[in-house]
Structure 1
Amino acid sequence: MKVIAVIPAHNESKTITEVVKRTRKFVDEIVVIDDGSKDNTGELAKKEGAKVLVNKQNKGVGYSKRKGIKRAIFLGADIIVTLDADLQHSPEDIPRFVEKVKEGYDFVLGSRNLEKYPWIKKFGNFCLNNL
């Protein structure tokens, strides 16, 4: 099965190289959507072997994900994995998601494990979510 990662990115030059390098081990292709970045996010992703789509201006994560998913389908993806470009998602979890799809699941969704979060971050998230 062909697995393609879709990674929307906006001004992520500090993390995109690591994200692409770590993701490459678990997928057949990587599509990075440079969402109007003012830095060299797209160039760095391309240097690491990702296919890069460019939004000339920032269109938002939803638009960029849809654009990347359409490209992944065009490229013949059997499984599409989306990741954030800021390392909030661990590329090392990709095999677990792919395995579930191979077991017959149509859709697999992951979330961050908040049990390992420091209490101050939990408190901050709580406050911001309840504004």
Structure 2
Amino acid sequence: MKLIIQIPCYNEAATLGLALDALPRQVPGFERVEWLIIDDGSTDQTVQVAQRHGVDHIVRHRRNLGLARAFSSGLAACLYHGADVIVNTDADNQYDARDIPALTAPVLAGNAE
């Protein structure tokens, strides 16, 4: 099973590194955990920060298309890269990455989709 954690980004260079540093590379029940960012037309160093932190996949929009389009592009890319489960989080580090195992546990147990 593969988990991909996706992060929509628009000019998030200042905070993305903190969010990525908190993300797990191992989650119980998954053989692989990968990270994907969606660069929604950023004009700062968002992509370079992602690359320095070892992000596995980067989707780039040439211009800002908005959160809904970024989210949708991310889902499509995660599926393309073989995700069995996708978790969306935020580049501002507003969500506690330590909650990801609890979030995915019902899916792994077959109690949620």
TM-score over 0.5 for the alignment?
Answer: yes
Query: CA shift at 1:92, angstroms?
Result: 1.1
TM-score scaled by length of structure 2: 0.87
Query: CA shift at 1:81, angstroms?
Result: 0.1
Q: Residue by residue, what CA displacement relative to the aligned partner does 1:11-42 show, whole Å, maximum 9, x if unpaired?
A: 11111112112114346111101111111011
Q: Which runs of 5+ in 1 are unaligned?
A: 108-131
How has the CA–CA distance of structure 1 residues 22 and 74 changed in structure 2, closer, same or farther, with 3 Å as cutoff? Answer: same
> Larger % of strand: which?
2
Does 1 or 2 have the higher relative contact order (CA < 8 Å, sep 6+)? 2
Q: Quick one: which of 33, 37, 51 aligns to 1:32?
A: 37
Identity of aligned residues (%): 34
Counterpart of 1:49 in structure 2 is 54
Counterpart of 2:9 in structure 1 is 9
Would you say the 8 A contact 1:24–1:30 is kept in 2? no
| Counterpart-to-counterpart distance in 2, 1:18 and 1:88 | 10
Q: Which has the higher Rg, Structure 1 or Structure 2?
A: 1
Q: CA RMSD in A?
A: 1.3
> Larger % of helix: which?
1
Pairwise mapping of residues 36-115 of structure 1 onto structure 2 (< 5 A)? 36-50=41-55, 51-107=57-113
